[in-house]
Structure 1
Amino acid sequence: MSKLINNSVLWWFAGEDPHILSQCSSKIGFRFGLIGLLVLLISISSTLSIAYGIDQILESAVADVLVGAYCGLFILILYLFLLHTLSRNVLPEAKDSKTGKRISFLIRILFLIALGYLVAQPINSLIFKSYLTREITHYKDVELKNYERHFNFQNMDELALFQKEQDSNNYFIQKVIILNTLFYVDRSDQRPVNYFMVSLSLLISMGIISLFIAPVFLKRFISISNNYYKVKRRIQTKVIDQHHAAFVNEYNAILSGFSADTNYRYKTAYLDPPYNTRLKPKPKERNKDEFLKWLLDEGN
């Protein structure tokens, strides 16, 4: 089981670089593999759930397959992007506001909670299908009585047409409402609420929401001092430093080609190029000669 989860395919679904993870311990590989497995499970369950929901609304096999597949792929790409942005930055960076980061993290969590709640509704509708069938039958009877009372049908053909419309209506939205709110289907009828079913439905919704947010917390609470981030820092800084050094050499070669009498060189206002997190201290104003030396770069 451990070897099955600890593989490069699931690492990719976790939004991380498989090349870096291959150089880390099996424990870290297993954790990121578990994150990838959960993301894959979220995508598949979202596809099936949304496809079933569309089928209940439109009753079209083609529409539910196309819309379900599209939504599942959309959620997968969205989740991969979200996990990638949650990956800790291993490069030197300027200090940012912790409050801003926390608000950003909270917004992402709230979005996933809403998404998980949405995906849970068709699943609940399928699980409690027999209970909802009884509730909808009662709802149709109440609706028909109200219709007869308000419109006082004289023509039986109109009443038959209304009943036909009722039979063709799946009442999917009504089913969702029944499972998620403590209300009477018709207040004049005062049909009692099945609190057990409603509570069970909410528990299932909470379970699916927990599935949606679990990968985020699993990844978020991996310490920056973890071996994975150490390896990632070493690899990324090496690549960046090599490219920056090559850029500086090429830039200086271009500058030196303008004139043999000049000694132009690439310079930066930062102490730690190319990360540029610390500015060089400003020169102290002393006298005119000191200023001219600094201006002509003779003091360095």
Structure 2
Amino acid sequence: MRLKFFEYSKFLWWFAGEDPFILKNCNKTVRVKFSLIGILVITVMITTFISISYGLYKLLESYYVGLLIGFYTAVLVMFLYMFILYTVTKDVLPHKKGKSIEIFTSYIIRFGFLFALGLVVSQPIEYMLFSDEVNKLMNGKIIESIKEKNKSLNIEYSMKVKELEELNISNNDLKNEIIRFQEDKDLTLQQFMDYQYSRNFFIEKMILMDKHLIYIWFFSAVFIILFSLPVFLKIKIDFNTNYYKNKRIIQRDLLEWHYDKFLESYNAIIKEKFPSFTLTYKSPYADPPYNTQKISKPQLASESEFSKWLLNEGN
């Protein structure tokens, strides 16, 4: 039963960006390939939802905002993904082929977008998996910042003590001022420590993770492959499979039928408006309705060639 669903799932074929009506009449191998692409697209969408929701929750510390924007982002990614899948669907109708550099550039742009998307989506999930190691790195950085703050406060208050010493005040007053400075310094340092530990530093944690935990790039590569795999699999499906053959037959028949109806209607209108003339619509292309080969205009001969032709006709 599960295998039958996998072979005949219009739901999965829709996510693969192909026509379920044509696919249901194809062989098993083709149906399974497009079902696999659909499953991968759904996996990408779910992964995006989980990752973005978790990332926004950690950044904004709000479940509701994280879930709402995560769901919106997942749907947006799904439609962008569907759009890219549609663009790599093989054109079964006669068409002009683009230049190799143009085709190569278009693939670079598509896969570049998928690489970037996979890399961005991977970050929150990688933090989820390695939060202990990342938090240790962050704590080390916070401790260093506290030490630097303590050092700057010591310099600041030592300068103030020197200024008081130059005023030649009594030792008792100097001692009281030093105690007050020490209390102010301790309070300022404590406030700085509380502030540092109260922040989540989520973005900075991402930077530390990418910089120091080299092995997380393996997981980033896995995500990039996951996001690129459906498009790659769809490109690799052979043009000579019965899916594309059936699609070509259906689309050609449909397009040519509409073109014949257009000619019939157009010529009827011309005949109605100009009944005394024998006029019909003629396409400027040699292969209507595909319009890939334009009929070349007759080449006009030179005046000398015309004279030779005229003399030959006279003879």
Q: TM-score, normalised by structure 2?
A: 0.83
Aligned pair partner of 2:196 in 166, 169, 175: 166
Aligned pair partner of 2:79 in 77, 80, 101: 77
Superposed, which structure 2 residues align to 1:245-260 within 5 Å? 245-260=260-275
Cα shift readout 1:156-177 (whole Å, capped 9, x = no counterpart):
3322222222122112122212
Structure with greater Cα Rg? 2
Aligned pair partner of 1:177 in 204, 207, 228: 207
What is the aligned partner in structure 1 of residue 291 from structure 2? Answer: 276
The alignment yields a C-alpha RMSD, in angstroms, of 1.7
Separation (CA, whole Å) in 2 of partners of 1:201 and 1:4: 36
Decide which moves more: 145-154 or 212-221: 145-154
What amino acid is the match of 2:227? F
Measured after TM superposition, the shift of residue 285 of structure 1 is 3.6
What amino acid is the match of 1:280? I
Separation (CA, whole Å) in 1 of partners of 2:59 and 2:41: 27
What amino acid is the match of 2:93? L
Cα shift readout 1:171-223 (whole Å, capped 9, x = no counterpart):
212221222124xxxxxxxxxxxxxxx23211111111110000011001112
Measured after TM superposition, the shift of residue 83 of structure 1 is 0.3
What amino acid is the match of 2:284? A
Separation (CA, whole Å) in 2 of partners of 1:166 and 1:142: 11
Cα shift readout 1:20-42 (whole Å, capped 9, x = no counterpart):
11121121011011001100000
Separation (CA, whole Å) in 2 of partners of 1:248 and 1:237: 16
Superposed, which structure 2 residues align to 1:135-284 within 5 Å? 135-152=137-154, 154=181, 155=184, 156-182=186-212, 198-284=213-299
What is the aligned partner in structure 1 of residue 165 from structure 2? Answer: none
What is the aligned partner in structure 2 of residue 3 from structure 1? Answer: 4
Partner SS state of residue 273, structure 2: coil
Measured after TM superposition, the shift of residue 143 of structure 1 is 1.2
Partner SS state of residue 257, structure 1: helix
Cα shift readout 1:66-112 (whole Å, capped 9, x = no counterpart):
11111111100000000001101111011320210111101111111
Superposed, which structure 2 residues align to 1:115-130 within 5 Å? 115-130=117-132
What is the aligned partner in structure 2 of residue 186 from structure 1? Answer: none
Percent identical across equivalent pairs? 36
Measured after TM superposition, the shift of residue 286 of structure 1 is 6.2
Aligned pair partner of 1:132 in 134, 149, 164: 134
Separation (CA, whole Å) in 2 of partners of 1:207 and 1:47: 17
Q: Does the Cα contact within 8 Å between 1:10 and 1:36 map onto a contact in 2? A: yes
Q: Does the Cα contact within 8 Å between 1:2 and 1:30 map onto a contact in 2? A: no
What is the aligned partner in structure 2 of residue 18 from structure 1? Answer: 20
Separation (CA, whole Å) in 1 of partners of 2:6 and 2:150: 61
What is the aligned partner in structure 2 of residue 34 from structure 1? Answer: 36
Does 2:98 align with 1:68? no
Separation (CA, whole Å) in 2 of partners of 1:241 and 1:157: 84
Partner SS state of residue 214, structure 2: helix
Measured after TM superposition, the shift of residue 137 of structure 1 is 1.7
Q: Does the Cα contact within 8 Å between 2:23 and 2:243 map onto a contact in 1? A: yes
Higher helix fraction (1 or 2): 2
Gapped runs of 5+ residues in structure 2?
A: 158-180, 304-315
What is the aligned partner in structure 1 of residue 167 from structure 2? Answer: none
Partner SS state of residue 181, structure 1: helix
Separation (CA, whole Å) in 1 of partners of 2:258 and 2:77: 35
Q: Does the Cα contact within 8 Å between 2:138 and 2:208 map onto a contact in 1? A: no
Gapped runs of 5+ residues in structure 1?
A: 183-197, 289-300
What amino acid is the match of 2:247? K
Separation (CA, whole Å) in 2 of partners of 1:13 and 1:252: 42
Decide which moves more: 278-287 or 107-116: 278-287
* TM-aligned CA distance change 1:37 to 1:177, over 3 Å: same
